[in-house]
Amino acid sequence: MKYDLSNYHTFVAGGLGEIGTAIVNALVAANSSVTILYSSEKYSSRALKLEQEFHDKIDIIKVDYLNSENLYTNLSSHAMKGKTNNLVSTVGTGKVLDKYPHSTNEVKRIWDINYFSNRNLLITLSTLINESKQLNPKGLSSHVMTSSVASKVNVNAPIDYCSAKAALEVLVKTIAIRISPEQRVNVITPGHILTSNGTWGLKTKEDPIGVSHLINSSIPMNRLGNPRDLASLFLFLLSKQATYITGSSFTIDGGITSKS
């Protein structure tokens, strides 16, 4: 199956992280034009580097996910008329900065990143597309959000992260109905994905034996996932091969939730 996304323009929120970068590479290989969205200063140098590497294929903009007006302005100025505009979001974090029961500020930060950022992105872009037929000329716009198996089963993740991800899944189901049939939206529910600076990269460095034990005892496929495992699923859901799929949650966890 060759994914030809040459008439697609895809916004990739969180596109400078390792998972986002894998998705961007896959999108570029499938001929989609890409606008990467990021919000954190820590990615500025990486943004510059990627812009040089892919200067004619992607553009990169810093946005404020929590400011709907800022998002609307930025998304409308980078959306491409005549193309199918889509959203992929990998925005989220499972890193909590203080201990249970967590400060109000920390709870708010976790919800802002994992829920409200994604809510604003999805609602803003889908509204924008709804207002202009030229941003979705063939009625094929497809959006893919990122949840976590922590929304479904106990994997010892922080409680507010689990709750925010569960809320995100309900959001996707609700919006799927609202934007149907012209636009689709689905959510990917990954298990433990290894990235060098992510939760599992850090855990692997800190406690390789403990992580190895956890993998063998809780992941039927006996390995952590990797960003490329996710990228192919994102592409499938954006493609014309998935035109009857909306409001669905796709678990990609090596079997964790089957075993639980």
Partner 1 sequence: MFSKSIFDLTHGAYIVTGGSGFLGRAHCHAIAAFGGTPIILDLNKSASDILLEEIKSEHDVRAQVYPIDITSKEELLKVLAEITKSLPIKGLVNNAARNPVVSRTGLETSSRLENFSLEDWDKDINVGLKGSFLCTQVFGSHMNEFQGGSIVNISSDLGIIAPKQSLYKIENKNESEQPVKPVTYSIVKTGLIGLTRYTASYWPTKIRCNCLCPGGIENNQSQSFLNKVCAEIPLGRLAKLDEYGGALIFLLSSASSYMNGAIISIDGGRTTW
In the complex, the smallest distance separating the C-beta of residue 256 from partner 1, rounded to whole angstroms, is 8
Rank residues 94 and 225 by Cβ distance to partner 1 and give the closer one: 225
Q: Say whether 152 is catalytic.
A: no
Output the smallest distance, CB 228 to partner 1, in A. 7
Nearer to partner 1, 125 or 230 (CB): 230
161 is catalytic: yes
Interface residue list for partner 1 (CB under 8 A): 1-3, 25-26, 29-30, 173, 176-177, 180-181, 184, 220-222, 225-226, 228-233, 236, 239-248, 250-259
Q: Which is nearer to partner 1, 201 or 247 (CB)?
A: 247
DSSP string, the chain: -----TTEEEEEETTTSHHHHHHHHHHHHTT-EEEEEE--GGGHHHHHHHHHHTTTTEEEEE--TT-HHHHHHHHHHH--TTSEEEEEE-------SS-TT--HHHHHHHHIIIIIHHHHHHHHHHHHHHH-GGGSTTS-EEEEEE--GGGTS--S--HHHHHHHHHHHHHHHHHHHHHTTTEEEEEEEE--B--TTSHHHHHHHH-HHHHHHHHHHH-TTSS-B-HHHHHHHHHHHHSGGGTT--S-EEEESTTHHHH-
Minimum distance from residue 17 beta carbon to partner 1 (Å): 17
Which is closer to partner 1, CB of 108 or CB of 178? 178
* Catalytic residue, candidates 147, 148, 218, 239: 147
Confirm whether 38 is a catalytic residue.
Answer: no
Supply the residues annotated as catalytic. Answer: 147, 161, 165
